[in-house]
């Protein structure tokens, strides 16, 4: 498995643990916080989505005049655009990491490759199963919410923010991240509630070992909840680029965070791809419900920093809770 660190039980175990971002340090560390906001949080994928959102608005989105009337034609085009972008990103990562196996197992979270003979997946094939749920249900719900949001603006229910200052867009990007990650934490807690978990979220969790197509491989009920992140823009007026960014953050970025590799290597280039924090959620289920930019897991005691000590602490707490429930 190359030079990647693994512990005695075979789990991925880098030397560092996952701490709360310096953004929340007390006393404040403004320079370090600024570096976190401009570099750690956004480089490289945030900047990539930011640029892609401008291109998408300019060349790959119907005009608001067209979208003033809900018609299948332009909605189908939006679906094709979203599906195409997801195929390029998830498909590209999948090709590079799993088909070409460009870096073999280096920086891979799991020792196993994706399942090709497992009853819990459609057609017994994890990648086909993940592609099916992502494209048929995921992109459809993403597009439905996105189209409805444009239509609300195009038909005059809400004023479009015309303000085209790049600083406005950059500031709004942070609002999108803050809103999306907060929304994700709370809907994710809801999805772990017994009956909803069994009906819906269990489907995403069939993937203990994740790949790029796992990102939005979810049950339609989960998609309907997960993509409701757009609803904020039904009440708070924004520029359409913010709507596109919301879709990218929710629909495309999980392909990266679920890639199954902590880093992707291309020659001398090494880019951060995976999200070890979320990978631990897939592995152990009961903690790391949110993302690292939000402090909710820390506030509510479900932050697992990846260390064996932290895992043991969580397990002890679970055992105590189970004992309490049984007595
Ligand atoms: Zn996941
Ligand atoms: Zn979950």
CB atoms within 10 A of CB 6: 15
Task: List pLDDT tens digits, range 152-190.
Answer: 999 999 999 987 788 999 999 999 999 999 999 999 999
What's the gap in Å between 283 CA and the centre of ligand 1? Answer: 10
Whether residue 268 lies inside any domain: the answer is yes
Structure-token match 């709370």, residue found = 186
Is the pTM higher than 0.85? The answer reads: yes
Measured distance CA(211)–CA(93) in Å, rounded: 9
Whether residue 263 lies inside any domain: the answer is yes
What's the gap in Å between 268 CA and the centre of ligand 2? Answer: 34
Whether residue 28 lies inside any domain: the answer is yes
Length of the chain: 327
Whether residue 12 lies inside any domain: the answer is no
Write down the mean pLDDT value for the chain: 94
CB-CB contact of 155 with 238 (8 Å): no
- Work out the average pLDDT over 26-36: 96
47 to each of 43, 113, 168, 211, 253, how far by Cα in Å?
6, 30, 15, 22, 12
What's the gap in Å between 200 CA and the centre of ligand 2? Answer: 10
Whether residue 310 lies inside any domain: the answer is no
Expressed as residue numbers, the domain containing 218 is 22-280
pLDDT above 50: residue 2: no
Phi, psi of 82 (to 5 degrees): -65, -40
Task: List pLDDT tens digits, range 120-157.
Answer: 999 999 999 999 999 999 999 999 999 999 999 999 99
What's the gap in Å between 286 CA and the centre of ligand 1? Answer: 13
What's the gap in Å between 261 CA and the centre of ligand 1? Answer: 14
In this structure, of 3-7, 103-107, 199-203, the range with the lowest mean pLDDT score is 3-7
pLDDT above 50: residue 194: yes
* Burial class of residue 263 (count of CB atoms within 10 Å of its CB; 0-12, 13-18, 19+): middle
What's the gap in Å between 223 CA and the centre of ligand 2? Answer: 13
Closest C-alpha to 185, from 287, 321, 274, 279: 287
Whether residue 77 lies inside any domain: the answer is yes
- Work out the average pLDDT over 311-324: 85
Integer-rounded Cα Rg, in Å, for the chain is 20
Whether residue 144 lies inside any domain: the answer is yes
With a CB cutoff of 8 Å and minimum separation 6, the contacts of 195 are none
Domain count, the chain: 1
> Coil, strand or helix: which one is 271?
strand
> Coil, strand or helix: which one is 6?
strand
Whether residue 148 lies inside any domain: the answer is yes
Residue 255 CA: which ligand is closest?
1
């Amino acid at each position: 498995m190359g030079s990647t660190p693994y512990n005695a039980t075979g789990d991925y175990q880098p030397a560092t643990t996952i701490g709360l971002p310096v953004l929340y340090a007390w006393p404040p560390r403004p320079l370090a916080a600024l570096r976190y906001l401009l570099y750690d949080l956004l480089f490289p994928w945030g900047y990539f989505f930011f640029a892609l959102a401008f291109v998408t608005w300019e060349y790959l989105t119907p005009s608001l005049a067209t979208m003033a009337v809900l018609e299948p034609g332009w909605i189908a085009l939006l679906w094709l655009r979203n599906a195409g972008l997801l195929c390029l990103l998830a498909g590209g990562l999948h090709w590079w990491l799993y088909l070409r196996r460009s870096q073999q197992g280096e920086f891979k979270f799991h020792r196993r490759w994706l399942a090709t003979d497992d009853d819990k997946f459609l057609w017994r094939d994890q990648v086909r199963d993940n592609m099916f749920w992502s494209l048929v249900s995921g992109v459809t719900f993403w597009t439905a919410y996105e189209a409805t949001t444009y239509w609300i603006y195009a038909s005059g229910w809400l004023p479009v923010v015309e303000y085209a200052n790049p600083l406005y867009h950059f500031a709004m990007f942070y609002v999108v991240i803050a809103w999306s990650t907060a929304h994700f934490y709370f809907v994710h807690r809801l999805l772990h509630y017994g009956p909803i978990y069994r009906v819906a979220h269990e489907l995403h969790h069939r993937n203990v070992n994740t790949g790029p197509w796992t990102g939005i491989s979810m049950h339609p009920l989960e998609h309907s909840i997960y993509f409701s992140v757009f609803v904020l823009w039904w009440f708070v007026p924004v520029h359409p680029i913010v709507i596109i960014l919301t879709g990218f953050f929710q629909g495309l970025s999980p392909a990266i965070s679920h890639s199954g590799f902590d880093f992707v290597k291309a020659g001398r280039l090494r880019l951060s791809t995976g999200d070890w924090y979320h990978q631990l959620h897939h592995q152990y289920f009961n903690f790391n419900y949110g993302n690292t930019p939000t402090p909710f897991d820390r506030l509510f005691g479900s932050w697992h920093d990846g260390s064996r000590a932290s895992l043991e602490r969580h397990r002890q707490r679970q055992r105590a809770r189970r004992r309490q429930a049984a007595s």
